[in-house]
Structures are given as C-alpha cells and as structure tokens.
Amino acid sequence: MKLSAQQWLITQEEFLISSAQETNFTMANGYIGIRGTHEEMLPGEVLGTFVAGLYDQSEAQVSEFVNIPYFWGLRIYINRQYLDPTVCKVLEYKRVLDMKQGLLYKFIRVKDKQGRITKIEGYRFVSIADRNLCPMTYTVTPENYDAILNIESIMNGVVCNTEADPKERVKHFVISKMTDDKDGIYIEAATREKDYKIGIASSLQVLHEGKNAGFNRYARILGEVMTENIEVQVTQGSTYTINKYTALVSSRETAKDNVRPKAKALLDGSIELGIEVLLNKHVQALDQLWNVTDIKIVGDEQADVSLRFNLFHLMSCANEDDERVSIGAKGIHGEGYKGHVFWDTEIFMLPFFIYSNPKAAKTLLMYRYHLLDAARDNAKKNGYKGAQYPWESADTGVEETPRWGVDYVGNPVRIWTGDIEYHITADIAFAIREYIRATDDMEFFLRYGAEMFLETARFWVYRGEYNKEMDRYEINDVIGPDEFHEHCNNNCYTNYLAKWNIERAFEYISMMQEQYPHEYSRLVTKIGLAQEELDFWREVSQKIYIPFNPEDGLMEQFEGYFKLEDKLITEYDENNMPVWPEGINLARLDEYQLLKQADVIMLMHLLGEEFDMETKRINFAYYEKRTMHKSSLSPSLYSLMGVVVGDHSKAYEYFMRTALVDLVDNQGNAWLGLHSASTGGTWQTAVFGFGGMSIDKEGVLAFNPWLPDQWQSMEFTIAWKKRVLGVKITRDSVDVKLKEGESGLPVRLCDQIIML
C-alpha cells in the first residue's frame, strides 16, 4: 500500500491523545463507525464503536446510539513485556488519514526502557465494498534485538455510553457469548432494552515472508474482554506481518440465530481474499464515489484539503443500501446528540447527496418514509392530523429529544425543542421537493414522496390557529431555527415553509390528477383525503400569517422580535467570529435580538427564488449583525448568502470556519463526533455559494460563480435530471460539460442559456 498524493492526506505528526482527533480519524462506511483511538487503547482515550441505526434506551433519558464492544484492540509484548507507547520513547510517529483510499495509516518507531527499538507500520479501514468487514494490517520490525513477541488481539466489552458523566453513564449491552473458535475468536453482545445481538468474529495471523510464523496460539476470556494471542520468534532486522480480520454482524440485518454463522462466514471469506484484495475492492468502491463527489480547488491548498475532508466524512456516513437509517448530527463518529437525526440531514447534508449520489439521497428520504406512521401517531398524540416528524429521531420515529439539558452557564434547563421545534416537518417536505426537482424520480414521488408531502402539508393545516380578529392563521408557541428564542409566535421561517408546504401540495395534487389519476386516487383513498378537506387546506394556506414589513423590506423573525433589546455585534475574535456584545446576560438570551444561527436568512437560502435580491440584501445586512454563530450550522449559511447578495467581506472566513470546524476544533466540541451538518454546509457553500449554482424560476440549472481571491479554479461534478455534469469555474469563466446522459439540456451560465 502506497499513500496517496498530498491533497488526499490529513496527517498527524505528533504522538498525542486527542479526542477531537479521534473524531477526525474515525473510519466509517455508513454501517459502522469506529473512532480513531489507538489500537493499544491508551489511558485517556474514549473508545467509540457504533452501528448505524442501533439504538437502545435502558436507563438513558431517551434511546441512544449504543457504544458497542471495541474490537480493534492490538498490543505487542516483547518477551512478555507490554510495548506501551506512552512509556516508551517515541522516536518517529505519524498517523495519516488517506481519504482517497479511505484508510488510517500509522507509522511509529519506539524505544523501550531496555533500549529495544521497534518499528510498526500499517493501516486499518472499514470496507465500503463489504460493509461488515473491518480489516487491519501492521508490520513489525525489531530493529536491534531478537525476542519472542506476543501479539495480542483484543475485543473489549468494557465500554459504556457517556462514560465521563456518572449521572448519564449507561451500559447498553451485556456480553452474551464468547467463544474460542481455534481459528479465531467470537464475542456477542446483547442490548439490554431491545435485545439486539451484535456478533463480532475476529482472527489474527502473524506472517513472515508470506508464511505463517506464529508458533503458539491461545485465547483468553477476561471478564468482558476477550483476547487472541499469537507468539512469534523474531530476529533483528526482519519484518513480520500482523493481519487482523474482523467481521461484524448485528440482528438489525439478520435473524438473531444467524448473527454468529453470518459473522463467521464473512470472516472466513475475508481471510480467503486477503487484506490486499479487500483493500482493492474498498478503494474501487470509494473511487466511484469520489468520481462524483470530489471538489478540486486550485490556488488554496488548505481550502482544497479541508473541503475534501468534509466530503470524505459526509459520504462515509451514508449507506445507500439501508433505508432504515439516516445520518445523525454527529455522523457515526461519536456519541454526541445520542446519534439522533435532526433537520441537519435534510437541510444541510441532503443537497450533497442529491447532487452527487442521488441513490443515497433517496435512501435517506426512505428513512423518513418508513417512519411516516410514527409521524402520524405523533401528530395524533398532539391533537393534529397528518404527519408530524420528531425533532430528534432514532430508529422508531418517536420523539427522542431529551427533556433536560444544561444552558451556557451550566444551569439545568428544560429542553423545549422536542415539544415545539416544529419546522422539521416542513424541512422534510422541502427536501422531498429538492430531490424530485433534481432527479425527476417519479417512481419515488408516486410511491412514497407524495404521501409524505401531503401528510406533512396536512399537519400544518391543523397546526394553524385561526385568529378571528385578524382573520388569519397563526402558528404560535414554536421554536424556529434560532434556538435562543423559545415559545415564539409566528416564526417567519416556520410559517413561510408551512404555507409553502401546503401550496406545493396543491401543485402536486393538480399534477397528479392530470398525469397520474390512478396513483392519485389510490393515495387519497389510502390517506382518507376528501375534497371538502382540501377546501379547508386552501383557506388555511391563503391566510397563514407571514411577518413581513413591506415598508422596510424586513422579515420579522417572529412576532415581537423587533421590540427586543437590540445589541449589535461590533467585535470579532481572531477568526473573525462574533464576540458577545457587552452586558449580555447569557442566562436570558431570549431578551435580545441576537440569534444563535441563521433563521430568516436560512429561509431565503432555501426558497431563494421566492425573494427578490433587494429583500435578500436588506435582510442579510440586518440579521448578519445580530447572528452569533453559536451553532456550527450557521457560518456556512452566511458565507453562501453573503456571496448571493454580493457581500463577500466574510464569505471566505465563514467558509473556512466551517471547513475547519473539526480539523482545528474551532467550536471546542469535536470530541463529541463529526459536525455532519457543517460538512454538508461546506459543500453547499462551495457549490451554491462560490459556484453560484441555483435553479431559476423556469427550473433551469444556473451558475453565477464568484471565487475567493486566492482561488484560481474550482471543479466539481453535479448529478442533475439523470445526467452527470462536469463544472469548471475559473476566475473569469464557467464551463459546464455533459459527462453522462442525454444531450439537449439547457443550463444557464451567468446570463446566457446554453444547451448541453
């Protein structure tokens, strides 16, 4: 294995234990995520291994991602003495995330107290081609000694969730089986609430010059830890190879009694293929993804590599073969937000998939379709009709938001988002339309999308409250995207999207009545939608109140917002990020006009074609001065909307802030997992912002780019209406080519329409 060229690499030169780095070096394939801790399981490291969609509650407040047994443990002993890198002198060290090959490479030379120098080099990965397989391979060279090495492969069940917090700590599984299969070991965990079985089969090999070199193999059961050991006689200067094959299977995807046989069969098959073949298959599968997802920036290496880092992790989160999972706010990269799925997926991440890998986008939308009944139950429980999606979602679709948390100053606070952050329901409808518009996937629309769309529209109709005096429908007591303000009435973002959801439903209804009458009648029968009800829908949609002042062109974030104390942001820190204005009471943020994150501006991004440029400019100028960017979802939005309205002053800084959020840990919480919405935000800023990609009123794909000063060019690929387009933007040109699919496609380049 040879490492890829520099633009594909993220390198760590210093031997350190960093929980942020563990997130950055996570290996994931949409099915499993394993944090980038060291194989030796060093003190201070928090082991994290997750299976997408595998949640359990037990004593936790709500269902959470189960931190399952860690199985990438590996330790080396020299004449039975543990080669502990934290005790030895580290002579050379390097870990490299190779994004092209999707692997984590390690090189280390250490000298122990007896002066023995050992060199270890190799890599590990989780396969995208065979999602259950997680191979690793290292070579060991004793540079100045002969000895007996003991290679110990470890599967470690001594892990729990939220380990650092005694009050929140939960152990979600028991180890139900441990066996020594003579040619490998097997452990099985069973989750305590739902009794999911997680079977892990693993096998160790030690080779010298391609031949088995181990002379003594044994296994040990040590409580919740199981080891497989092989001894090998090593001589100075010779190199030995350690291969550790692992297959993981869970009862999410197979019958409980098939977990073990399946894991074993997959393990045997992988040993037969060998590490190199497994790697080739993985790299080929990854290559196909990179062909449609990579963005190349020339002239700015840091932007180029860090953007790629975001895309790498975002695509590592998706599993286009599993419709029962979606992507959590922290990816499969950590326990943050308990592995829950938010609007982050549909609004921030999904565009990346829609325009690069539509199959994965569809799978993500299917996750919501499979939970439509739960969303119906949720609406019903709260007294509405239609479907109300939960603010935080796991595997069953019930509301999973914890009721309690802590505020900025550490006080316990009631979390209201699960009760009243309703906009997620319209966000999902918005995502469905984005997908349909870009793909023309009518099969999906007719079988699944239309049903979700109509049921979400229906929810808004019944969520509206009629205000007789004003003769309007209101949506009161909500939280909009800006979570500094709770219990707001008529949040502009929520009301606008609710209205949009109902109005677009009417468009879809007319289209179906005309073009797909059979499917339409099947659908209305299924959901029990009569014409009289539609008359009511129309009445509500026409009268939903949108707080907007035509005199100054400002949308009011919610009713009464402009009456709040107005503290402007005047100071910025060294990263050009806002500093709290003086005299702010952090426990009463709802008293000020300051925002946590984009709200009105988010709306203007999503429904760009509905607002004229002047309105966008006025609102951008107003809200930008009041947005604190306390959510990582915010800077990317202001970067791209800045470009759209022609205010480029902070576009680059906001973009880099987003691109580096995990790499330099600029929010200080990368240890909790990937900022996955922000990874999608980098893509959107690059493509919708700098690339100036939008869809015009006639539905034509348009490009109106602007590049930051140091960028010479940017190249990317776009999937659009069953075609693949190659886009190249330089400082003074934009070129779009048809790479795959039928010709005859109109595209707008600045003011000119061309046919591809």
Binding mask 638-677 for ligand BGC (x = CB under 6 A): ---------------------------------------x
Query: Residue 593 Cβ, how far from ligand BGC at the closest point, in Å?
Result: 17
In the bound state with ligand BGC, the residue whose beta carbon lies nearer, of 352 and 448, is 352
Strand, coil or helix: 707: coil
Query: Residue 45 Cβ, how far from ligand BGC at the closest point, in Å?
Result: 25
Say if strands 197-208 and 185-191 run parallel, antiparallel, or are unpaired: antiparallel
- Give the residue from 701, 703, 755, 700 showing the smallest Cα distance to 729: 703
Query: Residue 421 Cβ, how far from ligand BGC at the closest point, in Å?
Result: 8
Q: Contact at 8 Å (CB) between 717 and 729?
A: no
Secondary structure element (H or E) that encloses residue 429, with its range? helix 424-439
Tell the residue number behind the tokens 């209406």, with chain if given. 721
In the bound state with ligand BGC, the residue whose beta carbon lies nearer, of 80 and 487, is 487
In the bound state with ligand BGC, the residue whose beta carbon lies nearer, of 214 and 481, is 481
Residue 733 burial by CB count (10 A; 0-12/13-18/19+): exposed, middle or buried? Answer: exposed
142/137 Cα distance (integer angstroms):
17
513/501 Cα distance (integer angstroms):
18
Q: Contact at 8 Å (CB) between 391 and 418?
A: yes
Give the footprint of ligand BGC on residues 677-736 (CB under 6 A). 677
Say if strands 240-250 and 136-142 run parallel, antiparallel, or are unpaired: antiparallel
Query: Residue 335 Cβ, how far from ligand BGC at the closest point, in Å?
Result: 14
Q: Is 483 a catalytic site residue?
A: yes
Give the footprint of ligand BGC on residues 567-606 (CB under 6 A). 596-597
575/553 Cα distance (integer angstroms):
31
Query: Residue 739 Cβ, how far from ligand BGC at the closest point, in Å?
Result: 34
> Which listed range, 33-41, 144-152, 342-350, 449-457, lies at the site for ligand BGC (CB under 6 A)?
342-350
Residue 311 burial by CB count (10 A; 0-12/13-18/19+): exposed, middle or buried? Answer: buried
In the bound state with ligand BGC, the residue whose beta carbon lies nearer, of 282 and 596, is 596
Query: Residue 657 Cβ, how far from ligand BGC at the closest point, in Å?
Result: 16
Binding mask 270-309 for ligand BGC (x = CB under 6 A): ----------------------------------------
> Which listed range, 236-244, 338-346, 556-564, 618-626, lies at the site for ligand BGC (CB under 6 A)?
338-346
> Which listed range, 10-18, 175-183, 341-349, 530-538, lies at the site for ligand BGC (CB under 6 A)?
341-349
Write the DSSP string, 634-701.
HHHHHHHHHHHHT--TTHHHHHHHHHTTTTT-TTS-GGG---HHHHHHHHHIIIIIIS-EEE-TTS-E
Query: Residue 668 Cβ, how far from ligand BGC at the closest point, in Å?
Result: 13
| Other Cβ atoms closer than 10 A to 280 | 14
In the bound state with ligand BGC, the residue whose beta carbon lies nearer, of 237 and 405, is 405
Give the footprint of ligand BGC on residues 479-518 (CB under 6 A). 481, 483
713/710 Cα distance (integer angstroms):
9
Interface with ligand BGC (CB under 6 A), residue from 631, 639, 666, 685: 631
Query: Residue 678 Cβ, how far from ligand BGC at the closest point, in Å?
Result: 9
719/103 Cα distance (integer angstroms):
27
In the bound state with ligand BGC, the residue whose beta carbon lies nearer, of 425 and 597, is 597
Interaction between residue 343 and ligand BGC (CB under 6 A): yes
> Which listed range, 78-86, 123-131, 179-187, 335-343, lies at the site for ligand BGC (CB under 6 A)?
335-343
Of 188, 483, 486, 653, which one is the catalytic site residue? Answer: 483
Tell the residue number behind the tokens 């306390």, with chain if given. 630
- Give the residue from 548, 26, 565 showing the smallest Cα distance to 334: 26
Handedness of CA 200, 157, 674, 403 (dihedral sign): positive
Interface with ligand BGC (CB under 6 A), residue from 128, 151, 279, 329: 329
Give the footprint of ligand BGC on residues 439-478 (CB under 6 A). none
Q: How far is CA 223 from CA 36, 227, 614, in A?
A: 25, 11, 67
Q: Where are the beta strands (DSSP E) in 465-583?
A: 465-467, 472-474, 548-549, 554-555
Query: Residue 530 Cβ, how far from ligand BGC at the closest point, in Å?
Result: 36
Size of the site for ligand BGC (CB under 6 A): 12
DSSP 3-state helix, strand, coil percentages of the chain (rounded to 5)?
35, 25, 40
> Which listed range, 83-91, 219-227, 339-347, 471-479, lies at the site for ligand BGC (CB under 6 A)?
339-347
- Give the residue from 199, 232, 195, 200 showing the smallest Cα distance to 215: 232
Residues that bind ligand BGC (CB under 6 A): 329, 337, 342-344, 481, 483, 596-597, 631, 633, 677
User: What are the catalytic residues?
Assistant: 483
